[in-house]
Amino acid sequence: MTDVWNRSARTAPDTGTVRVNFPCANGRVYAFAVLQEFDHSDRFIQDIMTDLEARQALSSADRSLALDVAAGVVRRSRTLDVIIQSRITRPRHKVEPDLWRVLRIGAYQLLFSRTPDHASVDSTVDLCRLLDRPRWTGFVNGVLRGIGRLLSVEPATGPAATSLPGTHQNWRRLAEAVFPDPETRRSEYYADAFSLPQVLTDRWSSRLSQNDLTAACFHSINAPSTTLRVNLMRTEPESVLQSLLDAGCRARAGSIMGSIHLEQSPRIETLPGYNEGLWSVQDEAAMSASVLLSPQPGESILDLCAAPGGKTTHLAELSRDQAKITACDVASGRLQRIRDNAARLQLTSIHPLVIPKDGRELPPGPFDAVLVDVPCSNTGVLNRRPEARWRFDQSGLEELVVLQTRLLIQACELVRPGGRVVYSTCSMETEENRGVVDTVLAVLKDFRLDREVRHLPGQPADGAYQALLMRAGC
């Protein structure tokens, strides 16, 4: 069930709505426009930014600031709201929605960005004027200065009613208790402090240790890292790493063969080796799905839910581009991304195929191996998809499980006797993972679970689940 907090935040009446005039004066105004559209449309932040860029000529600095602030506010909105509410006496519904949006932008910069405190306050007060709302300036100034006084210079070392989680496992001490006591109200504390719906923290608290829960929650609020998967058909990881270091990138080898971590997130297409197809962007947890399937040269392989194609191209690389890989998706536009990536990586073994949404007219097979990377709740990658946390609810989860079960059964029906299937999600939820696998195994008696891999968020990569199913031979 979606939190009452979340419902009221997204459905509050919006009277006297601010109309943003383009082109805007700076990135904060763009961030306000993106957040306003997000609250009214349920679209993804990145999609809204893409549309905005198509209509406006954004400088790289404005784009970077707008995306950081907009995504950050969505990611940390519950925490921001708790802290803002602690500094004002009027209830939330008595504050104009657009004014609350401005307060979130200012509070985010004060609490979580690298912007100096005085600049965070001054720039947010200026934002009121740029939005033609000078009457807001005194109120915004007072609230943000109150938040600034809440921040203590003393360190914090872990969960407490006065501990604010920052990024990368850092804590900030607050001058007074704002959050619930984690000793007696653990789930509520993690929901408020880490900006998560309580339905998720209830689930995670019931099955994760304290350390795993804290790691998963920190992972959900950290800005996503960038990991490269080296195309081992064309180069060596050491060569790519050296070229990145020579170009001034802060980079290091990852924990999976051929992976490289970037310690910042530059524009990917500007990095050495991109145009030459020497690497792709892919998290280590996602890489392990294709490794688990272990595609071989000469095999017939199906990627049932292929777009945007990171796993598809990895299958091609692992099989030395000598398998026949059928890459399916329901959207032709998304399949184009696979074609583009395959061309850049100089891979020829991938054959994209559009399939109907109802699951009919699938390629006949039989296939030696099938990868089915299903649509899921994304609870293992909340850092990359800040909107997903607020879209999680029980009814949506149940609908996903029905879809996932159907897709896994279809995948199993398409594999030959003696063949194998890898079922993959980027979810932490048991129902989507082992629950789906057990349901399918109870129906398809000629399959067995050979191996399963669970990736907990932040240890060290994204959260994910993969299961290798083997079909009995003739």
Task: List active site positions.
Answer: 426
Side chain identity at residue 320, one-letter code: R
Distance CA 127, CA 265 (A): 27
Sorted by sequence, the CB contacts under 8 Å of residue 343 that are 6+ apart come out as none
| Gyration radius of the chain over CA positions | 24
SS3 content of the chain, % helix, strand, coil (to 5): 45, 15, 35
Q: Which residues contact 373 (CB under 8 A, 6 or more apart)?
A: 289, 303, 304, 305, 306, 311, 424, 425
Q: At what angle do helices 97-112 and 117-130 cross, to 10 degrees?
A: 160
Cα(29)–Cα(35) distance, rounded to whole angstroms? 10
* Contact yes or no for 434/452 (Cβ under 8 A): yes
Rounded Cα distance between 224 and 380, Å, is 12
The whole-angstrom separation of Cα 142 and Cα 121 is 9
Q: Are 233 and 317 in contact (CB under 8 A)?
A: yes
Taking CA 298 as the corner, what is the angle to CA 297 and CA 301, rounded to the nearest 5 degrees? 90
41/25 Cα distance (integer angstroms)? 24
Q: Provide DSSP, 289-323.
A: HHHHH---TT-EEEETT-TT-HHHHHHHHHTTT-S
Residues 206, 207, 210, 211, CA torsion sign: negative
Integer angstrom CA distances of residue 257 from 173, 230, 237? 40, 9, 8
Determine the Cα–Cα distance for residues 136 and 150; give it in Å rounded to an integer: 21
The H-or-E segment that residue 452 falls in is: strand 447-455
The answer to whether 349 touches 325, Cβ cutoff 8 Å, is yes
8 Å CB contact between 174 and 151: yes
With tokens 């071989």, the residue in question is 296
- In the block, tokens 């530059």 appear at 266
Tokens 């800005």 locate to 223
C-alpha dist (Å) from residue 258 to 283, 332, 459: 11, 30, 18
How far is 215 from 229, CA to CA, in rounded Å?
24
For residue 464, which amino acid is it?
A
